[in-house]
Amino acid sequence: MFLLLVADLFKTRIAAEKTGITQEIQHSLEGVIASVTDVGIALGTLMAAARSSGLGIVPIGAVRREPQALIDLFGLPEDTFPIAGVCIGYVDRPAIQKSRLPIKSFRHEEHYHAEDLRPAIDAYDLTWLNTGRLLLEPMAHPGPRTLRVHTAECTSRM
């Protein structure tokens, strides 16, 4: 099954119109942040629910590569935008889990510890280089596959 998660400020506009209010939030960054946060909550909850039921999941950010095609395909109205998809199904071959960034790279106590980031990313790059996954994925960039290379690949796809 493939589910498409859509930021939806059309629905709220209709609800506002019922009470005679003209919705304006769709014109602001706050509207984007609020609706995309809602999608993130839904995506995380869906993935946790699927995994806890023994199903496999693959989130699909690539739906944003061709948003207009999806808007047309699903007949999405104005003030909506496709944010992410998620495939849910029975696992054929279990995936090899990617190495994880050290906790210090995302958990900051009391204040943001910028000085911890470089060592954390260096440590991640070492585990990433040692993972068997390197052998399974074609390398888009020559040389060692580090977080820098991975990030470059991700951003170049946007």
Ligand X SMILES: Cc1cc2nc3c(=O)[nH]c(=O)nc-3n(C[C@H](O)[C@H](O)[C@H](O)COP(=O)(O)O)c2cc1C
> Which residues contact ligand X by CB under 6 A?
58-62, 84, 95, 97-98
Smallest distance from the beta carbon of 117 to ligand X, in angstroms? Answer: 20
Task: Compute the distance between CA of residue 113 and CA of residue 56 in angstroms, rounded to an integer.
Answer: 35
Smallest distance from the beta carbon of 135 to ligand X, in angstroms? Answer: 15
- Select 76 or 86, whichever has its Cβ closest to ligand X: 86
- Select 62 or 73, whichever has its Cβ closest to ligand X: 62
- Of 111, 91, 20, 10, which Cα lies nearest the Cα of 51? 91
Task: Kindly give, in sequence order, each residue whose CB lies less than 8 Å from that of residue 149, ignoring residues fewer than 6 positions away.
Answer: 140, 141, 143
Task: Compute the distance between CA of residue 131 and CA of residue 89 in angstroms, rounded to an integer.
Answer: 26
- Select 16 or 147, whichever has its Cβ closest to ligand X: 147
Smallest distance from the beta carbon of 9 to ligand X, in angstroms? Answer: 21
